[in-house]
Amino acid sequence: MSRKPFLLIALPLAVLIAPPAWADEGEIQRILEAKGAAWEAGDGAAWARDYAEDAGVVNLVGTRLEDRSSNAQRHTDLLQGPFAGTSLSVDVQDITLLGDDTAFAEVMFRVSGIESMPTGLPDRGDGELHTRMSFLFERHDHQGWQIRFGQNTAVHP
């Protein structure tokens, strides 16, 4: 049997089955926007939920968190400590698909309602902290899109 009829059927079906790029960007957008809900709930585990188990994160003060568990614990400590009762706004600046299974995203975060700015962070005097966070995403068959690495940087006034 010739492969030509098979290819004439299979190739158009493959195009229909493959998710369009905007679907991937939409899923990544939802993951990033969920950070706001996790923050509002004071839930460090929910914050870290979309990170790969062994994902690294460099936080605002340059400390590297080595995995999802340490990320969740650090955010629980922050959300129950110096950032308790604060709000987080999430402004996704850019999502770039680097390949079929990798993407880069850049987000501006604004934490408001800070009563006393933690030492070492830029204090604008208005109870707000502005940061720019970069995320490297990987897509896996069973987990979907997950954050592989994140880098958070304070934006100085």
The 10s digit of each residue's pLDDT in 31-83 is 999 999 999 999 999 999 999 999 999 999 999 999 999 999 999 999 999 99
Placement of tokens 């880069």 in the chain: 104
The predicted pLDDT at position 14 comes to 45
- State the Cα–Cα distance between residues 17 and 20, nearest whole angstrom: 9
- d(Cα 46, Cα 49) in Å, to the nearest integer? 5
Q: What is the pLDDT of residues 135-154, one digit of tens each?
A: 999 999 888 999 999 999 99
Residue 148 · residue 54 · CB < 8 Å: no
Count CB atoms within 10 A of the CB of residue 1: 5
CATH number of 17-154: 3.10.450.50
Q: What are phi and psi of 20, to 5 degrees?
A: -70, 155
- Nearest residue to 90 (alpha-carbon basis) of 110, 71, 60: 110
How far apart, in whole angstroms, are the C-alpha atoms of residue 149 and residue 41?
23
Q: Nearest Cα to 64, choosing from 52, 72, 55, 56?
A: 56
How much is the pTM? 0.84
